């Protein structure tokens, strides 16, 4: 009798274990595509779909131009050059927003760095002196922004708005409200040089984006950025120096502005206090379109790059159809509002889904 009882026990055990395992694994199988992991992939696919729609609109509105392969290739390179400068600025902006901040002074920093590096005194040091000055000015102003926000405890909106006004004013003072011409052939050649048929400006953008992607996704700095933006208090309790990290984020944004200043100066072969006007809005809009949360803690470099390309394509589309800049700005404004609304709905749905998955796993 005892033998029969002992034999039946092992036969009943495996089904129970398989059922329990299935309950635990089910939420994990749904979590990548339907949850946090797949959210970025779906968003990027959506942005690519928007690009395809814009190209189709271009083909339908200007079939005479899109019927010429040479024009299509040249126009693609034009869009790449148009996106290059704003794209570099957007990389720095993305880090700041993911970290829970905002930087309204990026356009003014580009102008200040451009004006400072094209002064007669700076140009006398050659291309190296001009590039070093632009990067140093951008980095220094970014550090000041970070110090005001982190140690001065100013609201990022107010601190960077004040810097926007101050930097524009200083740029106008240095240039005496005049356009400063760049006489350096190396600097000017950055915008006109092509490597394998592709503008050097596009290569610079790709290099900055690649560096930003690695920094955000493969380093401790990137993980700390997400932690600080998601929950600063929790990050502090986890041992992260939130103030110092905030300074580093704004310094990174300023450094990107310094790089963009060199690129923009090369394109215009000059610099003035009014250059890079509204770049801050373009950078913020591109980051939002790319899925970066204004509240911080979430965002991708690739998404921000796609956002820049979308806006550059829209600008190009309006230009080839001879439409007004006012209409273009209205369309861009509508896209920004729509992106924020979609973002709020998606984030709310994602939060509810993750909560349900955690509850199922616990059960």
For 66-119, write each residue's pLDDT tens digit: 888 889 999 999 999 999 999 999 999 999 999 999 999 999 999 999 999 999
> Which pLDDT score, from 0 to 100, does residue 348 have?
57
Give the CATH fold of the 83-352 domain: ABC transporter involved in vitamin B12 uptake, BtuC (1.10.3470)
Token duo for residue 293: 């949360």
Q: Which residues pair with 198 in a beta bridge?
A: 195
> Which pLDDT score, from 0 to 100, does residue 37 have?
53
> Which pLDDT score, from 0 to 100, does residue 338 have?
77
At 172 the three-state DSSP class reads: helix
For 252-302, write each residue's pLDDT tens digit: 999 999 999 999 999 999 999 999 988 998 999 899 988 898 888 889 999
Helices (H), 99-155: 106-117, 120-123, 126-150
- What ranges make up the beta strands (E) of 56-200? 180-181, 194-195, 198-199
- What ranges make up the beta strands (E) of 29-121? none
Q: Do 271 and 265 meet the contact criterion of CB atoms below 8 Å apart?
A: yes
> Which pLDDT score, from 0 to 100, does residue 1 have?
45
C-alpha 163/C-alpha 307 separation (Å) is 26
What is the domain partition of the chain in residue ranges? 83-352
CB count within 10 Å of CB 362 equals: 8
User: Can you give the pTM of this predicted structure?
Assistant: 0.84
> Which pLDDT score, from 0 to 100, does residue 20 have?
45
Q: What residues in the chain have per-residue pLDDT under 50?
A: 1-5, 7-13, 16-32
């Amino acid at each position: 009798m005892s033998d029969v009882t002992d034999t039946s026990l092992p036969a009943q055990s495996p089904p129970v274990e398989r059922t329990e395992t299935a309950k635990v694994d089910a939420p994990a199988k749904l979590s990548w595509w339907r949850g946090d992991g797949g959210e970025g992939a779906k968003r990027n696919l959506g942005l690519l779909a928007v690009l395809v729609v814009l190209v189709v609109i271009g083909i339908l509105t200007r079939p005479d131009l899109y019927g010429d392969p040479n024009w299509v290739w040249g126009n693609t390179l034009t869009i790449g050059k148009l996106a290059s400068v704003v794209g570099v600025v957007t990389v720095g902006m993305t880090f700041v927003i993911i970290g829970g901040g905002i930087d309204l002074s990026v356009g003014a920093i580009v102008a200040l760095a451009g004006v400072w590096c094209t002064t007669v005194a700076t140009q006398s040091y050659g291309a190296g002196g001009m590039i070093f000055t632009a990067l140093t000015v951008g980095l220094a102003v970014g550090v000041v922004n970070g110090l005001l926000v982190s140690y001065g405890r100013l609201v990022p909106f107010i601190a960077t708005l004040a810097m926007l006004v101050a930097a524009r004013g200083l740029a106008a003072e240095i240039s005496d409200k005049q356009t400063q011409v760049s006489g350096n052939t190396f600097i000017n050649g950055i915008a006109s040089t092509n490597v394998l048929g592709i503008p050097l400006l596009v290569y610079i953008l790709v290099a900055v984006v690649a560096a930003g992607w690695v920094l955000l996704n493969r380093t401790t700095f990137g993980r700390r950025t997400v932690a600080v933006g998601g929950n600063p208090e929790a990050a502090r309790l986890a041992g992260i120096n939130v103030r110092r990290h905030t300074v580093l984020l704004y310094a990174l944004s300023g450094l990107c502005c310094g790089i963009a200043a060199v690129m923009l100066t090369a394109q215009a072969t000059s610099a003035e206090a009014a250059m890079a006007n509204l770049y801050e809005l373009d950078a913020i809009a591109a980051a939002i379109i790319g899925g970066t949360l204004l509240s911080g803690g979430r965002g991708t470099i690739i998404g921000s790059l796609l956002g820049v390309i979308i806006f550059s394509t829209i600008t190009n589309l309006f230009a080839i159809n001879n439409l007004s800049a006012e209409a273009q700005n209205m369309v861009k404004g509508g896209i920004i509002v729509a992106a924020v609304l979609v973002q709020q709905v998606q984030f709310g749905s994602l939060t509810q889904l993750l909560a349900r998955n955690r509850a199922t796993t616990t059960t």
